[in-house]
Chain A
Amino acid sequence: NAGVMQNPRHLVRRRGQEARLRCSPMKGHSHVYWYRQLPEEGLKFMVYLQKENIIDESGMPKERFSAEFPKEGPSILRIQQVVRGDSAAYFCASSGTASRPHEQYFGPGTRLTVT
């Protein structure tokens, strides 16, 4: 059973470009969470999605950031017009098994560098 998969693992973008980060949850999981980890800081919640629905986006910046989890395919975190301050590791987690509903399993992360 493959774990949570994220790609790309590393992404370099110039200021003003768009970044698209993908997350495929574990098989059978229908809940996806995105977190951001700035250097020397703890992970910070960004957004929680279920299939085709954003449930909680209270941690997401109001501008330039968006997320989706379509019926088919991976969850996408999209950052438009990236700035240097967006450089961070972005982690996706998934959960949703009946036996362990609250256990979040993390992917390996995407390290975004904005030059």
Chain B
Amino acid sequence: KNQVEQSPQSLIILEGKNCTLQCNYTVSPFSNLRWYKQDTGRGPVSLTIMTFSENTKSNGRYTATLDADTKQSSLHITASQLSDSASYICVVSGGSNFGNEKLTFGTGTRLTIIP
């Protein structure tokens, strides 16, 4: 069964600190892995997309890593800001024909930044 597990479930850190969120997956076949940010009451917004050949990808203060051998990914947030408070969701794509992707979603890590 395809699964995406994230840890920790929730995390509270001080503004300005760094943090790392973890994602383990058992999705086969594997096409790509994405990290989304979901603010409360909003839809998910894509942060990064990585294929199996990419080890790391950055988007501003967000850096995602991927180890396709161990099926693990991490999202590192540098110099956190209050606006980073949100749920961060790891999503794995099982490949597709054009458009018809099978996405498996993790339950997310709820990150809270405190001043």
Q: Which residues of A contact B (CB under 8 A)?
A: 4, 31, 35, 40-45, 48, 50, 55-56, 91, 93, 95-96, 101-109, 111
Contact = CB atoms under 8 A, between A and B. Distances in A.
B76 interface: no
Using C-beta atoms within 8 Å of the partner chain, give the interface range for chain B: 20 to 34
B93 interface: yes
A95 B45 contact: no
A36 B45 CA distance: 16
Interface of B: 4, 31-32, 36, 41-46, 49, 89, 93, 96, 98-103, 105-108
Contacts of A95: 99
A106 B44 contact: yes
Contact of A44 (B32, B96, B105): B105
A103 B96 CA distance: 12
A42 B89 contact: yes
Contact of B105 (A40, A42, A108): A42
A108 B42 contact: yes
A39 to B, nearest CB: 11
